[in-house]
Amino acid sequence: MMATKTLTGTQKAALVIMNLSTEQAATVMRQFTEQEAEEIAAEILRLRNVDPHTAETAIREFSERSIGRSAKAKGGRDFAAGLLEASFGAERAQGLLERLDSGSSFEFLDGADAVQVSSLLDGELPTTIGFVLTRLRGDLASSVLSRLSPAVQVDVAQAIATMGTATPEAVSILTAVLKQRARAIVLPQEKVQMTGGLQPLVDIIKRSDAATERDLLAALEERDSELAEQVKSRMLGFNDIVTLEQRDVQQVLRSLDPAMLAIALKGAKPEVSETIMANMSERNRTLLEEETALLGRVLKGQVDEARSQVVRAIRDLEASGAITVHRAAEEEIEYVD
Protein backbone atom coordinates (compact mmCIF):
# COMPACT_ATOMS: atom_id res chain seq x y z
CA MET A 1 0.00 0.00 0.00
CA MET A 2 1.36 3.41 -0.99
CA ALA A 3 1.92 5.81 1.92
CA THR A 4 0.93 9.42 1.35
CA LYS A 5 4.22 10.80 2.57
CA THR A 6 6.03 8.84 -0.17
CA LEU A 7 3.90 10.29 -2.97
CA THR A 8 5.48 12.80 -5.32
CA GLY A 9 3.82 16.10 -6.07
CA THR A 10 2.75 14.78 -9.47
CA GLN A 11 1.16 11.71 -7.87
CA LYS A 12 -0.74 13.86 -5.37
CA ALA A 13 -1.99 16.09 -8.19
CA ALA A 14 -3.08 12.98 -10.06
CA LEU A 15 -5.02 11.74 -7.02
CA VAL A 16 -6.86 15.03 -6.69
CA ILE A 17 -7.76 15.12 -10.38
CA MET A 18 -8.93 11.49 -10.26
CA ASN A 19 -11.55 12.55 -7.73
CA LEU A 20 -13.00 15.28 -9.94
CA SER A 21 -15.61 14.94 -12.65
CA THR A 22 -14.27 14.87 -16.20
CA GLU A 23 -15.37 18.48 -16.76
CA GLN A 24 -13.77 19.72 -13.55
CA ALA A 25 -10.61 17.73 -14.17
CA ALA A 26 -10.35 19.08 -17.71
CA THR A 27 -10.57 22.65 -16.39
CA VAL A 28 -7.71 21.95 -14.00
CA MET A 29 -5.61 20.15 -16.63
CA ARG A 30 -5.79 23.15 -18.97
CA GLN A 31 -3.81 25.13 -16.40
CA PHE A 32 -0.79 22.84 -16.89
CA THR A 33 1.71 22.79 -19.72
CA GLU A 34 1.50 19.86 -22.13
CA GLN A 35 4.51 18.20 -20.45
CA GLU A 36 2.99 18.59 -16.98
CA ALA A 37 -0.36 17.25 -18.20
CA GLU A 38 1.38 14.25 -19.74
CA GLU A 39 3.23 13.49 -16.49
CA ILE A 40 -0.02 13.68 -14.51
CA ALA A 41 -1.83 11.46 -17.02
CA ALA A 42 1.02 8.95 -16.75
CA GLU A 43 0.55 8.82 -12.97
CA ILE A 44 -3.21 8.32 -13.42
CA LEU A 45 -2.43 5.33 -15.61
CA ARG A 46 -0.06 3.89 -13.01
CA LEU A 47 -2.13 4.57 -9.88
CA ARG A 48 -5.38 3.00 -11.09
CA ASN A 49 -7.29 2.08 -7.87
CA VAL A 50 -5.98 3.79 -4.75
CA ASP A 51 -7.11 2.95 -1.24
CA PRO A 52 -9.49 5.51 0.30
CA HIS A 53 -7.16 6.57 3.13
CA THR A 54 -4.26 7.43 0.82
CA ALA A 55 -6.52 9.33 -1.57
CA GLU A 56 -8.27 11.25 1.21
CA THR A 57 -5.02 12.19 2.93
CA ALA A 58 -3.50 13.46 -0.33
CA ILE A 59 -6.60 15.46 -1.19
CA ARG A 60 -6.68 17.10 2.26
CA GLU A 61 -3.33 18.71 1.46
CA PHE A 62 -5.01 20.82 -1.20
CA SER A 63 -6.69 23.78 0.47
CA GLU A 64 -8.90 24.29 -2.61
CA ARG A 65 -10.78 21.06 -1.97
CA SER A 66 -12.61 20.08 1.21
CA ILE A 67 -13.28 16.42 1.84
CA GLY A 68 -16.31 15.49 3.90
CA ARG A 69 -16.34 11.77 3.16
CA SER A 70 -14.00 8.96 2.27
CA ALA A 71 -12.59 9.23 -1.24
CA LYS A 72 -11.68 6.35 -3.46
CA ALA A 73 -9.84 7.41 -6.60
CA LYS A 74 -10.19 5.40 -9.76
CA GLY A 75 -7.73 5.94 -12.55
CA GLY A 76 -6.81 3.75 -15.49
CA ARG A 77 -6.55 4.23 -19.24
CA ASP A 78 -10.18 5.14 -19.88
CA PHE A 79 -10.12 7.91 -17.27
CA ALA A 80 -6.81 9.25 -18.60
CA ALA A 81 -8.05 9.15 -22.21
CA GLY A 82 -11.27 10.98 -21.38
CA LEU A 83 -9.43 13.57 -19.32
CA LEU A 84 -6.83 14.32 -21.99
CA GLU A 85 -9.48 14.56 -24.70
CA ALA A 86 -11.62 16.94 -22.66
CA SER A 87 -8.54 19.05 -21.86
CA PHE A 88 -6.72 19.19 -25.19
CA GLY A 89 -9.07 17.86 -27.89
CA ALA A 90 -9.20 14.44 -29.53
CA GLU A 91 -6.22 14.74 -31.89
CA ARG A 92 -3.74 16.16 -29.36
CA ALA A 93 -5.00 13.76 -26.67
CA GLN A 94 -4.45 10.77 -28.94
CA GLY A 95 -0.82 11.75 -29.49
CA LEU A 96 -0.23 12.15 -25.77
CA LEU A 97 -1.93 8.86 -24.98
CA GLU A 98 0.09 7.00 -27.60
CA ARG A 99 3.27 8.27 -25.96
CA LEU A 100 2.00 7.12 -22.58
CA ASP A 101 0.91 3.72 -23.93
CA SER A 102 4.29 3.12 -25.52
CA GLY A 103 6.00 4.28 -22.33
CA SER A 104 8.92 6.14 -23.80
CA SER A 105 12.01 4.88 -22.04
CA PHE A 106 14.13 7.73 -23.36
CA GLU A 107 12.39 10.70 -21.77
CA PHE A 108 15.72 11.45 -20.11
CA LEU A 109 16.93 12.64 -23.53
CA ASP A 110 14.12 15.20 -23.96
CA GLY A 111 16.41 17.95 -22.71
CA ALA A 112 19.28 16.98 -25.00
CA ASP A 113 19.98 18.45 -28.43
CA ALA A 114 20.87 16.64 -31.66
CA VAL A 115 24.61 17.06 -31.14
CA GLN A 116 24.46 15.51 -27.67
CA VAL A 117 22.27 12.60 -28.75
CA SER A 118 24.48 11.98 -31.79
CA SER A 119 27.50 11.85 -29.52
CA LEU A 120 25.71 9.45 -27.19
CA LEU A 121 24.83 7.10 -30.06
CA ASP A 122 28.18 7.33 -31.84
CA GLY A 123 29.46 3.82 -32.56
CA GLU A 124 26.20 2.09 -31.66
CA LEU A 125 24.67 -0.53 -33.93
CA PRO A 126 22.04 0.73 -36.43
CA THR A 127 19.39 -1.29 -34.60
CA THR A 128 20.21 0.51 -31.34
CA ILE A 129 20.21 3.93 -33.02
CA GLY A 130 16.91 3.18 -34.73
CA PHE A 131 15.42 1.97 -31.46
CA VAL A 132 16.31 5.24 -29.76
CA LEU A 133 15.16 7.46 -32.64
CA THR A 134 11.66 5.98 -32.56
CA ARG A 135 11.34 7.02 -28.93
CA LEU A 136 12.53 10.63 -29.36
CA ARG A 137 10.47 13.67 -30.30
CA GLY A 138 9.99 13.80 -34.07
CA ASP A 139 12.04 16.97 -34.58
CA LEU A 140 14.91 15.70 -32.44
CA ALA A 141 14.95 12.29 -34.16
CA SER A 142 15.08 13.93 -37.59
CA SER A 143 17.95 16.20 -36.56
CA VAL A 144 19.92 13.24 -35.21
CA LEU A 145 19.24 11.23 -38.39
CA SER A 146 20.51 14.06 -40.60
CA ARG A 147 23.81 14.09 -38.67
CA LEU A 148 24.54 10.45 -39.44
CA SER A 149 26.67 9.45 -42.42
CA PRO A 150 24.69 8.39 -45.53
CA ALA A 151 25.70 4.75 -45.07
CA VAL A 152 24.58 4.71 -41.44
CA GLN A 153 21.38 6.57 -42.31
CA VAL A 154 20.19 3.82 -44.61
CA ASP A 155 21.20 1.12 -42.11
CA VAL A 156 19.18 2.89 -39.42
CA ALA A 157 16.22 3.42 -41.75
CA GLN A 158 16.11 -0.27 -42.59
CA ALA A 159 16.43 -1.19 -38.90
CA ILE A 160 13.48 1.04 -37.95
CA ALA A 161 11.26 -0.25 -40.74
CA THR A 162 11.89 -3.92 -39.91
CA MET A 163 11.95 -3.54 -36.14
CA GLY A 164 9.53 -5.54 -33.99
CA THR A 165 8.49 -5.05 -30.38
CA ALA A 166 11.35 -5.14 -27.91
CA THR A 167 11.13 -7.29 -24.79
CA PRO A 168 10.96 -5.41 -21.47
CA GLU A 169 14.27 -7.01 -20.45
CA ALA A 170 16.08 -5.75 -23.55
CA VAL A 171 14.59 -2.29 -23.16
CA SER A 172 15.58 -2.19 -19.52
CA ILE A 173 19.19 -3.13 -20.26
CA LEU A 174 19.59 -0.62 -23.09
CA THR A 175 17.91 2.14 -21.10
CA ALA A 176 20.16 1.53 -18.13
CA VAL A 177 23.30 1.66 -20.28
CA LEU A 178 22.29 4.84 -22.09
CA LYS A 179 21.14 6.56 -18.91
CA GLN A 180 24.52 5.89 -17.34
CA ARG A 181 26.32 7.37 -20.37
CA ALA A 182 23.90 10.28 -20.66
CA ARG A 183 24.24 11.56 -17.10
CA ALA A 184 26.46 14.38 -18.29
CA ILE A 185 23.66 15.47 -20.68
CA VAL A 186 20.41 15.30 -18.70
CA LEU A 187 18.93 13.70 -15.63
CA PRO A 188 17.69 10.12 -16.20
CA GLN A 189 14.04 9.18 -15.70
CA GLU A 190 12.10 5.99 -16.44
CA LYS A 191 12.12 2.78 -18.49
CA VAL A 192 9.79 1.20 -21.11
CA GLN A 193 9.01 -0.55 -24.36
CA MET A 194 8.85 0.46 -28.04
CA THR A 195 7.73 -0.57 -31.46
CA GLY A 196 9.31 0.18 -34.80
CA GLY A 197 7.87 -0.24 -38.28
CA LEU A 198 7.33 1.80 -41.41
CA GLN A 199 5.32 4.65 -39.92
CA PRO A 200 7.92 5.73 -37.32
CA LEU A 201 10.51 5.79 -40.12
CA VAL A 202 8.21 7.80 -42.41
CA ASP A 203 7.45 10.27 -39.59
CA ILE A 204 11.17 10.82 -38.97
CA ILE A 205 12.01 11.23 -42.67
CA LYS A 206 9.14 13.68 -43.22
CA ARG A 207 10.62 16.02 -40.60
CA SER A 208 14.12 15.87 -42.12
CA ASP A 209 15.51 18.48 -44.50
CA ALA A 210 15.10 17.98 -48.25
CA ALA A 211 18.68 16.78 -48.85
CA THR A 212 18.53 14.15 -46.08
CA GLU A 213 15.15 12.91 -47.32
CA ARG A 214 16.33 12.63 -50.93
CA ASP A 215 19.67 10.96 -50.16
CA LEU A 216 18.20 8.51 -47.66
CA LEU A 217 15.43 7.38 -50.02
CA ALA A 218 17.95 6.95 -52.85
CA ALA A 219 20.27 4.88 -50.65
CA LEU A 220 17.36 2.85 -49.32
CA GLU A 221 16.27 2.16 -52.93
CA GLU A 222 19.69 0.63 -53.62
CA ARG A 223 19.67 -1.41 -50.41
CA ASP A 224 16.08 -2.68 -50.46
CA SER A 225 13.90 -1.51 -53.36
CA GLU A 226 10.74 -3.11 -51.96
CA LEU A 227 11.16 -1.41 -48.59
CA ALA A 228 11.96 1.90 -50.31
CA GLU A 229 8.76 1.64 -52.35
CA GLN A 230 6.72 1.00 -49.19
CA VAL A 231 8.24 4.07 -47.56
CA LYS A 232 7.66 6.24 -50.64
CA SER A 233 4.04 5.12 -50.82
CA ARG A 234 3.52 6.71 -47.41
CA MET A 235 5.49 9.83 -48.18
CA LEU A 236 4.11 12.99 -49.73
CA GLY A 237 5.73 14.18 -52.97
CA PHE A 238 5.70 17.35 -55.05
CA ASN A 239 3.66 15.66 -57.80
CA ASP A 240 0.91 14.81 -55.29
CA ILE A 241 -0.46 18.32 -55.75
CA VAL A 242 -2.30 17.06 -58.85
CA THR A 243 -4.35 14.69 -56.68
CA LEU A 244 -5.78 17.49 -54.56
CA GLU A 245 -9.21 19.00 -54.96
CA GLN A 246 -9.13 22.41 -56.66
CA ARG A 247 -10.08 24.27 -53.50
CA ASP A 248 -7.27 22.47 -51.65
CA VAL A 249 -4.71 23.40 -54.31
CA GLN A 250 -5.85 27.00 -54.03
CA GLN A 251 -5.44 26.88 -50.26
CA VAL A 252 -1.89 25.54 -50.61
CA LEU A 253 -0.90 28.16 -53.19
CA ARG A 254 -2.13 31.10 -51.09
CA SER A 255 0.89 30.84 -48.80
CA LEU A 256 3.52 30.31 -51.51
CA ASP A 257 5.68 32.93 -53.23
CA PRO A 258 5.40 33.00 -57.07
CA ALA A 259 9.19 33.38 -57.38
CA MET A 260 9.71 30.19 -55.39
CA LEU A 261 7.01 28.40 -57.40
CA ALA A 262 8.75 29.33 -60.63
CA ILE A 263 11.85 27.46 -59.48
CA ALA A 264 9.80 24.51 -58.21
CA LEU A 265 8.12 24.17 -61.63
CA LYS A 266 11.39 23.95 -63.60
CA GLY A 267 11.24 20.61 -65.40
CA ALA A 268 7.99 19.62 -63.68
CA LYS A 269 5.45 17.33 -65.30
CA PRO A 270 3.02 19.22 -67.56
CA GLU A 271 0.04 18.18 -65.44
CA VAL A 272 1.71 19.60 -62.32
CA SER A 273 2.35 22.96 -64.01
CA GLU A 274 -1.18 23.02 -65.39
CA THR A 275 -2.70 22.26 -61.98
CA ILE A 276 -0.78 25.05 -60.30
CA MET A 277 -1.39 27.65 -63.02
CA ALA A 278 -5.12 26.84 -63.20
CA ASN A 279 -5.60 27.41 -59.47
CA MET A 280 -3.79 30.72 -59.07
CA SER A 281 -5.34 34.16 -59.06
CA GLU A 282 -4.85 36.13 -62.27
CA ARG A 283 -2.41 38.46 -60.55
CA ASN A 284 -0.27 35.65 -59.10
CA ARG A 285 -0.38 33.73 -62.38
CA THR A 286 1.00 36.79 -64.16
CA LEU A 287 3.74 37.12 -61.53
CA LEU A 288 4.59 33.43 -61.91
CA GLU A 289 4.83 33.73 -65.70
CA GLU A 290 7.11 36.77 -65.34
CA GLU A 291 9.36 34.97 -62.85
CA THR A 292 9.49 31.90 -65.09
CA ALA A 293 10.51 33.99 -68.09
CA LEU A 294 13.42 35.46 -66.13
CA LEU A 295 14.79 32.10 -64.98
CA GLY A 296 17.65 30.48 -66.76
CA ARG A 297 19.41 27.27 -65.84
CA VAL A 298 18.65 26.31 -62.24
CA LEU A 299 20.66 24.00 -59.99
CA LYS A 300 18.92 20.77 -59.03
CA GLY A 301 19.44 21.62 -55.35
CA GLN A 302 17.51 24.87 -55.77
CA VAL A 303 14.65 23.03 -57.46
CA ASP A 304 14.61 20.40 -54.70
CA GLU A 305 14.50 23.05 -52.00
CA ALA A 306 11.69 24.97 -53.71
CA ARG A 307 9.67 21.78 -54.16
CA SER A 308 10.26 20.85 -50.54
CA GLN A 309 8.64 24.14 -49.52
CA VAL A 310 5.56 23.24 -51.55
CA VAL A 311 5.50 19.77 -50.01
CA ARG A 312 5.83 21.13 -46.48
CA ALA A 313 2.95 23.53 -47.08
CA ILE A 314 0.81 20.58 -48.21
CA ARG A 315 1.94 18.49 -45.23
CA ASP A 316 1.10 21.23 -42.75
CA LEU A 317 -2.40 21.66 -44.16
CA GLU A 318 -2.92 17.89 -44.28
CA ALA A 319 -1.77 17.50 -40.68
CA SER A 320 -4.22 20.18 -39.56
CA GLY A 321 -7.04 18.42 -41.38
CA ALA A 322 -7.60 21.38 -43.71
CA ILE A 323 -7.02 19.33 -46.87
CA THR A 324 -7.02 15.68 -47.95
CA VAL A 325 -4.09 14.16 -49.86
CA HIS A 326 -4.10 11.15 -52.18
CA ARG A 327 -0.46 10.25 -52.64
CA ALA A 328 1.29 9.50 -55.93
CA ALA A 329 4.84 8.51 -56.79
CA GLU A 330 7.30 11.37 -57.15
CA GLU A 331 9.42 11.72 -60.27
CA GLU A 332 13.11 12.38 -59.75
CA ILE A 333 14.97 14.88 -61.93
CA GLU A 334 18.75 14.90 -62.10
CA TYR A 335 19.30 18.35 -63.60
CA VAL A 336 17.03 21.11 -64.86
CA ASP A 337 17.68 23.52 -67.75
SS3 sequence of 197-258: CHHHHHHHHHCCCHHHHHHHHHHHHHHCHHHHHHHHHHCCCHHHHHHCCHHHHHHHHHCCCH
For residue range 159-203, list pLDDT tens digits in order: 888 877 666 666 777 777 777 777 766 543 333 344 457 777 877
What's the average model confidence in pLDDT over 135-148? 86
Domain at 236-319: CATH architecture: Orthogonal Bundle (1.10)
For residue range 68-127, list pLDDT tens digits in order: 333 445 555 566 666 666 666 666 666 666 555 554 556 677 677 888 888 888 888 888
- Tell me the CATH number of domain 107-233, given options 1.10.220.30, 3.40.50.2300, 3.20.20.70, 3.40.50.720: 1.10.220.30
Query: Between residues 263 and 131, which one has the greater pLDDT?
Result: 263
Nearest residue to 318 (alpha-carbon basis) of 326, 309, 330, 308: 326
For residue range 22-65, list pLDDT tens digits in order: 777 777 777 777 777 777 777 776 765 666 677 666 666 653 33
Judge if 107-233 and 236-319 fold alike in CATH terms. Answer: yes
Highest mean pLDDT of the ranges 106-120, 199-213, 244-258? 244-258
- The alpha-carbon radius of gyration of the chain (Å, integer) is 25
Task: For the chain, give every domain's residue range.
Answer: 4-102, 107-233, 236-319
Our separate counts of H helices and E strands in the chain read 19, 0
